[in-house]
Structure 1
Amino acid sequence: MALRLVAHFDVRADVLPSLVAQAATAAEAGDTGVLETAYESLRVLNIERNGNIIYTYKDNKGNSVFGLYDCQTRQNEHLYTFEKDMQAVSCSVNSERTLLAASFVQYTKEGVRSEFHPGSKCLTLLVEIHPVDSVKVLKAVDSCIWVQFLYPHAESHHLQNHLLLISEEKYIERFNIQITREDGNRAVIRNSSHLPKDRIAEDFAWAQWDMSEQRLYYIELEKSKSVLRCIQFWPDESFTLMFEMPLDISLSGLRFKFVNFGYDYHQDQEKLCNQPSLCVFTNHTGSLCVCYSPKFDSGEEITYSVFYLHKGYRKTFTSAPGSAGSHVTKGITFLNLGYLVAVYFPGHFLHLLNIQHPDLICHSLFLTGNNKMAAVLPPSPLQSLPGSLILDCSSGKVYRATLDQSYLLWFLWNAAHLDCEKMAALHCALSCGQDPGFQEDQIIQWVCEHVSGCHSFDLIQEFLIASSYWSVYPELVDVDMLLPHSSVLTWNEEIPGIMLVTEELPLLLMKVYSLTGYWAKLNSNLEYVKYTKPHLHYHNSVVRREWHNLISEEKTGKRRSTMYVRNILDNAIKVISNMEIRTLEPRLIPLLQEEDRHQRLLIGLMVSELRDHLVRHLQGVEKKKIEQTTLDYISKLLNLIWCMLETIWRKHSVHPWVLHLNNRGSAADFEVFHLMTRILDASNNLCFPLPPGFHSLHMILGVHCLPLYNLLHYIDNGVLLLTETAVTMLMKDLDNSEKNEKLKFSIIVRLPPLIGQKVCRFWDHPMSSNIISRNHVAQLLKNYKKEPRNSMIGKSSFPTEFLPLNYFIETLTGLESSHQALCDFEGQDNVDAEFVEEAALKHTMALLGL
């Protein structure tokens, strides 16, 4: 199953042990049957903003008992006992645990409410519980009432409390309750006979409570239109209408429904499953999604829509129930998983929708019953809560839902056959990067073994971009608009089993101008969609142009400002140091050990450009944090390439002698060479840097694996680069056999002049001596001006009497004797006029065949 449920709370496992102790005490007093009655009636009523869970059960006398489970201390606390046989519908306690509000109905055996209060079917009470004192009747009406205390955004001891009452008669009121302290710490309601109240909303068809952020969403029907509104309750006790948004949805047939206001265990679940399903999901990144599924009959196509209000469009998905032919008994369940929304249709499919980047359907994973995903979530009704929590309403268990890395990896290896499945599963797996036990090494292994298995996109490019993105995403949530998350910009292929229709929506208009927190982020997302064209995602076009200019200037002898180039190279040093700090285990492949000036320039340029891009658009973020994020992003990119090489190296057990050129290549060497070629192609297209030393290793493997013609073809087309390290090794390790001489000569004639001058000295061969001599003479005569000479050449001073050569050698000797020339050619060991003369004679004799 793509989802993994971790038990967060179990009403029986976490509450019953404390009731066992009570039962033991009651048994000593001659009171039996407490535990049996409690076990049968124990159920969860509400979860408060601070995570505390309110539950209820019946004692052996039929009294309604309310308790609280503190999720921090993991202790249970008795709140109140109503000494009447009443059925609790809803309950809430204030943050100080001094007041408790509860609503009750009474059911007959036929499930119909019977009157237990004159003229009423539902009784709503407010109780002082610190200590237990008076009970006030808030409502005694025919319609059902739900209650919810508002919680401040921080622990406080305010004497003002606010209680929401949500009525089945389609109105919501807020009661303002003043508390006074008497006799030390005793909490008493002030003026309990007349509590002031505000009418928050009325004539609505649907409402949802966000306990974590203290928001109320509700829908009103206006002229056959469904208008979604949101009210934010603030810490200063005020509340504000934040937005209104018309939604093109049908709520006909929808029974009056509340979401996250507790759970009515006596509702007919089979009828509820045939009703439209609707919920609102948000997260801290500023996303706002409305998930909707109309009612459907068994056997019909299943349709559900997601309104991405933070993006300005709606996506409607249609899927057949499946080929299993099973009867549809449950409706669609929407689950909020943070960056994802899960659409779950029991026994048929699970759709993991990427709400952070919903533009392309290929970034959302669609799993059918054939993928072994249908039987893991509980079959009972589920209620999605903030923080990726899920309440199993029947069993009273609360789970924390996360993506199952093991399943996703299994799916990649065994079941992902289509490109869209590989893409979506890869993104889902990489989004787990911050989870404990993240198995990045297995993802890298899968990528290495499937580089040629994707036809719609480049797997290496996608992996490098997506993994680097997710590695820094938790550090700066705003980077979702500034850094690319995928290499794919368009997707035109269909997803088997599902049809998609996308519709543009008018952008959400905020009712408030001074925004903070989540609302500021949501507004930033809306502004981004409205005004940003093209998108602000970072790309390396400027880096590519500047890098090519620097390399071109080096070749032509032009020089930039020394300080400018030094700063770029210093940036590269910072990235490499950052990599070395994070590298805990020794590596098999010796990268980062050579200069590789061109790659260091590219690394440094990318640091400079990416840092400037983030600083330009991340207002209010410390530059030091941006600097570190930039280094982490590029370090991650380089480290991924290194890890890919290490993975394929280990898999094929490549022998260390591959780093020397005096051995023949093997099939394992070719596998590494092939992967490196694919990595090089991907990085070139993206203009991403490679770890210094990559090109030298690639060249060495090319010599091992390719025949000379193919090797030279790769070199001439820029696939293999002639680095000084690789060519020096080639000159030293290979002997002067006919085959190797041909290879060396082919390499030398392709070398840039600066590298050629250095490496020819390592080849003890007439041809290399000839090249060295030519370069030496060219440098000596570069600024030579002929002057009249009166001296006569002594024949006895030269081993060969050939006047042109004698005169030429004497001229070189004179130039070498100058101090300037000695400075210019310092380090050219054993290269002088005598060396030139000897090389000239050998070359002449070779030409004459002597």
Structure 2
Amino acid sequence: MALRLVSDFDLGKDVLPWLRAQRAALVAAGAGGGGPGVLENNYESLRVLNVERNGNIIYTYKDDKGNVFFGLYDYQTKQNEHLYTFEKDLQVVSCSVNRERTLLATSLVQAAKEGRRNELQPGSRCLTLLVEIHPINNVKVLKAVDSYIWVQFLYPHVESHPLPENHLLLISEEKYIEQLHIQVTREDGNRVVIKNSGHLPRERVAEDFVWAQWDMSEQRLYYIDLKKSRSVLKCIQFYADEHFSLMFEAPLDVSLSDSGFKLVNFGYDDLQDQEKLSKHPTLCVFTNHTGSLCVCYCPNFDSWEQITYSVLYFHKGHSKTFTATLGHVDSRVTKGITFLSLDYYVAVYLPGHFFHLLNIQHPDLICHSLFLTGNSEVIDMLPHSPLQSLSGPLVLDWCSGKLYRALLNQSYLLEFLWNTRLDCEKLALLQCVLSCGRDPRRLEAKIIQWISENISACHSFDLIQEFIIASSYWSIYPETSNMDKLLPYSSLLTWDTEIPGITLVTEEIPLPLMKVHSFKGYWEKLNSNLEYVKYSKPHLHYNNSVVRREWHSLISEEKKGKRRSTVYVRNILDNAIKVISNLEARNLEPRLTPLFQEEDNHQRLLMGLMVSELKDHLLRHLQGVEKKKIEQMVLDYVSKLLDLICQILEASWRKHNLHPWVLHLNRRASAAEFAVFHIMTRILEATNSLFLPLPPAPEFYDGQVIIQCRISASELLH
């Protein structure tokens, strides 16, 4: 399937055997009651409570007497640890443990059993506690209220040494969030206790919100408040010390006024009113390292004939609303739509109905996203229970207690590329495979093989053009996050063909208002994206129009006997020498085709001019990047263009068992020779319209020779 879920944690495999072994040891020692039946049936209440920033997983279960146990699975060591036990029949709302595992925060409610008196404080429904667990010592009541409370320890980005102060978020059902500052001290060696436990400083972080999402990896809080029935998204960034900042405010065109209260990624959601939650719109925020900011939103839907959802690409300044037609109305297998973050993509799926892979890095053209519908293998193999995207590729199935790492299945995507007949899917798959490419040389070889078999199968775009442009782009994209603004990533400028089963509406949206003035890391990249949307409406993508004019000018002057500055021409040709040298240094094996064997002054001029113009383009717009780094990126980019052309020719030459210097078109050609010649002409067509340089080899590429070859090929066909 297109989405591969690799299991990183499974309650049934990573925790349950350990619990049973622990219990069996107690029974054998006479310290526990029950028999073999208890060992088999005692852990039906086992469930995941929370996943912390360091990957540690907190879980809970009850014994046959109703006592509540808290355990922790260490994600690094793969070991389990017992944290604490409450010897009362209570139900856990929320739980979090600090990084040092010295403090446990939890909220509990009275177990719903008839005839049981309230064991919590009078008048309270939810009791929030702070427990010293290293060693087990004091228990402090943080809240005893009638509303539910969720807890979450902040995890500093500094991991080198224990901090003297811990910070704990309390999230109230009464729509406010507080931060508690908890100082700890060590007594009698390793005994950690809370300092001044009688008074813990606290401050209000947010209030009057209807929705909140926790980003555990980046320590960010997203929340939405309503201002005159208008939804406003806000984000707070927490830092290693007690400092936090409101980073931005962004208006949202979504309806949350009547949807009640909803939390995302604050642990297990068992106690929020399920009937209300089922009517709550699905909404989540995704970011990635490139400075993207996406809000995915699906309103309530009553009809199963079609589903509408929206993605707000704040880093691009527009939103897209997709409407998907559902093929089988009677095959409902899930409660709602699921959004998952997959680096440069967002997966949107409704098991049994559709799987969409939205390109969030390049969302301008709908054909760069993949839309699969119907009861295909891709859709049926996805989990039917809702998954929650935690951070990066991590997703959690709360129902089964399984933690997955979600990855795009490159092998499947390549196979699908061979089998699909739709141009839109070919384009989307090609872009997707290249963006998530591992082992690029092997990947490019497979794509080239596919191109050679399908060279005339696409009508909406040129396969060779798209492959050359996209692969060259992704080869240097990681060098700087601004590359998507400066280099073309696709050969297409527009796409007018409809996508079967999908309708799309694109609208401009107001940009987030940044609330701070000093940016670092992700925030610097997001702000750069927003500045680009504000002030750079015309696309800054490089194109070869200037190169085309200058090249024709140089050739014309040469024919007329005029001479340009010797230094200027020498610099241009030196650029070409550097490109070829760079290319040959990367390719250690001898080439089968006789490329770069002869001087071709015209192609070297074109190559050198492209290097010069592209370098100037990047130097103008890449602020803060060293000149030497830009020069190397340009050499790598142009070298990659040429290398891809060489690879296409090499693959065709090898496929048809042609040896060096055997392509003769001054006689009747063989079928193999004609097939290779056909690939050569398609390469010429592809590069000519983009005005890209070709590897010097005059016996192949001189303009007059090609014209003569086309006449010969025409005669062969007739």
TM-score of the two chains, using structure 2 as the length reference: 0.93
Match of 2:208 in 1: 203
Report whether the alignment pairs 1:561 with 2:565.
Answer: yes
Trace 1:393-542 onto structure 2 (pairs within 5 A).
393-415=398-420, 417-434=421-438, 439-542=443-546
CA RMSD of the aligned region, Å? 2.7
What letter matches 1:4 in structure 2? Answer: R
More displaced 10-residue stretch of structure 1: 689-698 or 137-146: 689-698
Match of 1:105 in 2: 109
Report whether the alignment pairs 1:368 with 2:342.
Answer: no
C-alpha distance in 2, partners of 1:8/1:346?
22
Query: Secondary structure at the residue paired with 1:571?
Result: helix
Q: 1:197 to 1:577 in 2, by over 3 A?
A: same
More displaced 10-residue stretch of structure 1: 109-118 or 190-199: 109-118
Match of 2:89 in 1: 85
C-alpha distance in 1, partners of 2:232/2:636?
44
More relative contact order, 1 or 2 (CA 8 Å, 6+ apart): 2
Which has a greater percent of helix? 1
Q: Report the alpha carbon displacement of residue 711 of structure 1 after superposing the two structures with TM.
A: 8.7
Match of 2:131 in 1: 127
C-alpha distance in 2, partners of 1:708/1:668?
15
C-alpha distance in 2, partners of 1:469/1:113?
67
Trace 1:369-768 onto structure 2 (pairs within 5 A).
369-415=374-420, 417-434=421-438, 439-656=443-660, 658-659=662-663, 664-693=668-697, 696=700, 707=711
Contact 2:572-2:612 within 8 A present in 1 as well: yes
Match of 1:27 in 2: 27
Q: Report the alpha carbon displacement of residue 331 of structure 1 after superposing the two structures with TM.
A: 0.6
Q: Report the alpha carbon displacement of residue 334 of structure 1 after superposing the two structures with TM.
A: 0.8
What letter matches 2:254 in structure 1? Answer: I
What letter matches 1:119 in structure 2? Answer: G
Task: Deviation per CA, 1:594-617: give whole Å up to 9, x if none.
Answer: 222222222222222222222222
Contact 2:251-2:510 within 8 A present in 1 as well: no
Task: Deviation per CA, 1:293-350: give whole Å up to 9, x if none.
Answer: 1111242421111111122222111122224642364211111111111111111111
C-alpha distance in 2, partners of 1:646/1:153?
49
C-alpha distance in 1, partners of 2:396/2:563?
67
Match of 1:748 in 2: none
Unpaired runs of 5+ residues, structure 2, are: none
C-alpha distance in 2, partners of 1:28/1:327?
48
What letter matches 1:388 in structure 2? Answer: P
Contact 2:262-2:277 within 8 A present in 1 as well: no
Q: Report the alpha carbon displacement of residue 386 of structure 1 after superposing the two structures with TM.
A: 1.4
Q: 1:167 to 1:411 in 2, by over 3 A?
A: same
Match of 1:5 in 2: 5
Match of 1:233 in 2: 238
Q: Report the alpha carbon displacement of residue 191 of structure 1 after superposing the two structures with TM.
A: 0.9
Q: 1:248 to 1:662 in 2, by over 3 A?
A: closer
C-alpha distance in 1, partners of 2:69/2:635?
57
Query: Secondary structure at the residue paired with 1:216?
Result: strand
Task: Deviation per CA, 1:344-375: give whole Å up to 9, x if none.
Answer: 11111111111111111111111102543211
What letter matches 1:682 in structure 2? Answer: A
Q: Report the alpha carbon displacement of residue 660 of structure 1 after superposing the two structures with TM.
A: 5.2
Q: Report the alpha carbon displacement of residue 629 of structure 1 after superposing the two structures with TM.
A: 2.0
Q: Report the alpha carbon displacement of residue 523 of structure 1 after superposing the two structures with TM.
A: 1.1
What letter matches 2:378 in structure 1? Answer: M
C-alpha distance in 1, partners of 2:115/2:469?
58
C-alpha distance in 2, partners of 1:112/1:506?
54
Q: Report the alpha carbon displacement of residue 707 of structure 1 after superposing the two structures with TM.
A: 4.7
Match of 1:350 in 2: 355
C-alpha distance in 1, partners of 2:466/2:673?
25
Q: 1:78 to 1:572 in 2, by over 3 A?
A: farther
What letter matches 1:457 in structure 2? Answer: F
Match of 1:808 in 2: none
Q: 1:208 to 1:502 in 2, by over 3 A?
A: same
What letter matches 1:596 in structure 2? Answer: D
What letter matches 1:432 in structure 2? Answer: C
Contact 1:220-1:226 within 8 A present in 2 as well: yes
Task: Deviation per CA, 1:608-638: give whole Å up to 9, x if none.
Answer: 2222222222222233332322222222211
Query: Secondary structure at the residue paired with 1:180?
Result: strand
What letter matches 2:573 in structure 1? Answer: L
What letter matches 1:512 in structure 2? Answer: V
More displaced 10-residue stretch of structure 1: 5-14 or 546-555: 546-555
Match of 1:312 in 2: 317
Match of 1:14 in 2: 14
Q: 1:294 to 1:643 in 2, by over 3 A?
A: same
Query: Secondary structure at the residue paired with 1:551?
Result: helix
C-alpha distance in 1, partners of 2:553/2:474?
32
What letter matches 2:228 in structure 1? Answer: K
C-alpha distance in 1, partners of 2:456/2:666?
31
C-alpha distance in 1, partners of 2:523/2:508?
22
Q: 1:271 to 1:509 in 2, by over 3 A?
A: closer
Match of 2:166 in 1: 161
C-alpha distance in 2, partners of 1:607/1:374?
45
How many residue pairs get aligned? The number is 711
Query: Secondary structure at the residue paired with 1:681?
Result: helix
Q: Report the alpha carbon displacement of residue 530 of structure 1 after superposing the two structures with TM.
A: 1.0
Contact 1:280-1:288 within 8 A present in 2 as well: yes
C-alpha distance in 2, partners of 1:107/1:322?
43
C-alpha distance in 2, partners of 1:661/1:213?
62
More displaced 10-residue stretch of structure 1: 91-100 or 696-705: 696-705
Match of 2:183 in 1: 178
- Aligned residues: percent identity? 72
Q: 1:386 to 1:321 in 2, by over 3 A?
A: same
C-alpha distance in 2, partners of 1:13/1:170?
38
What letter matches 1:332 in structure 2? Answer: I
Trace 1:198-347 onto structure 2 (pairs within 5 A).
198-265=203-270, 272-323=277-328, 325-327=330-332, 329-347=334-352
What letter matches 2:145 in structure 1? Answer: V
Contact 1:666-1:705 within 8 A present in 2 as well: no
Match of 1:795 in 2: none
Q: Report the alpha carbon displacement of residue 292 of structure 1 after superposing the two structures with TM.
A: 0.7
Q: Report the alpha carbon displacement of residue 268 of structure 1 after superposing the two structures with TM.
A: 6.6
Q: Report the alpha carbon displacement of residue 280 of structure 1 after superposing the two structures with TM.
A: 0.8
Trace 1:35-74 onto structure 2 (pairs within 5 A).
35-36=39-40, 39-74=43-78
Contact 2:700-2:706 within 8 A present in 1 as well: no
C-alpha distance in 2, partners of 1:706/1:603?
25
TM-score of the two chains, using structure 1 as the length reference: 0.79
Contact 1:433-1:471 within 8 A present in 2 as well: no
What letter matches 2:518 in structure 1? Answer: S
Which has a greater percent of strand? 2
Q: Report the alpha carbon displacement of residue 588 of structure 1 after superposing the two structures with TM.
A: 2.2
What letter matches 1:215 in structure 2? Answer: R
Q: Report the alpha carbon displacement of residue 438 of structure 1 after superposing the two structures with TM.
A: 6.0
Contact 1:316-1:501 within 8 A present in 2 as well: yes
Contact 1:663-1:704 within 8 A present in 2 as well: no
Query: Secondary structure at the residue paired with 2:479?
Result: coil
Q: Report the alpha carbon displacement of residue 101 of structure 1 after superposing the two structures with TM.
A: 0.8
Task: Deviation per CA, 1:380-405: give whole Å up to 9, x if none.
Answer: 12101111211011111111111112
Contact 1:298-1:327 within 8 A present in 2 as well: no
